[in-house]
Amino acid sequence: MEDQELESGIVKKFIYVNRKAPHGTIYAHEALEVVLIAAAFEQDVSLAFIDDGVYQLKKGQNTDGIATKNFTKTFGALEMYDVEKLYVEKESLEERGLSEDDLSVDVEVLASSDLKKLFNESEVFFNF
């Protein structure tokens, strides 16, 4: 789409905070669509996964039984879009009995207090 290229010369720190489970509602799926489009704008992009949002990165998801698109495979392609800063909240993983080994992509696990710093340093905050 022609309106998706923008040479503003401005680079801001964008953070996309994913808080919801991957299935059950469309928030996570449509959030990832925003991130993919945003990649064309050459901004400084970070993704954070907190609360049930950590389930979005869980390995081996299969949506055949609920007849929805398994968009979670796309997380593996984010690197090709130069989206490489993925942060997962340590406490959210632990509360759900998950560890970094359960995740499908390389992430940096951060304690809640460090994530808070990252949020504070961000300039554009999108919350899904």
Partner 1 sequence: MKFGVLINEGPYQHQASDTAYKFIEAAIEEGHEIFRVFFYHDGVNNGTRLATPPQDDRHIPNRWTELAEKHDLDLVLCVAAAQRRGMVDEDEMKRNSKDANNIAGKFRISGLGQLIEAGIQADRMITFGD
Q: Does 14 bind partner 1 (CB under 8 A)?
A: yes
Which range in 1-9, 51-59, 66-74, 84-92 contacts partner 1 by CB under 8 A?
A: 1-9
b/e map 104-127, b = 16+ CB within 10 Å: ebebebbeeeebeebeeebeeeee
Stretch that binds partner 1, among 25-33, 66-74, 99-107, 112-120 (CB under 8 A): 25-33
Q: Residue 42: helix, strand or coil by DSSP?
A: coil
Query: Under DSSP, is residue 1 helix (H, G, I), strand (E, B) or coil?
Result: coil
Any contact of residue 33 with partner 1 (CB under 8 A)? yes
By the 8 A CB rule, do 15 and 125 touch? yes
Per CB under 8 A, contacts with partner 1 among 34-93 are: 34, 37-38, 40-41, 43
User: Interface with partner 1 by CB under 8 A: which residues?
Assistant: 1, 3-6, 8, 10, 12, 14, 26-27, 30, 33-34, 37-38, 40-41, 43, 124-128
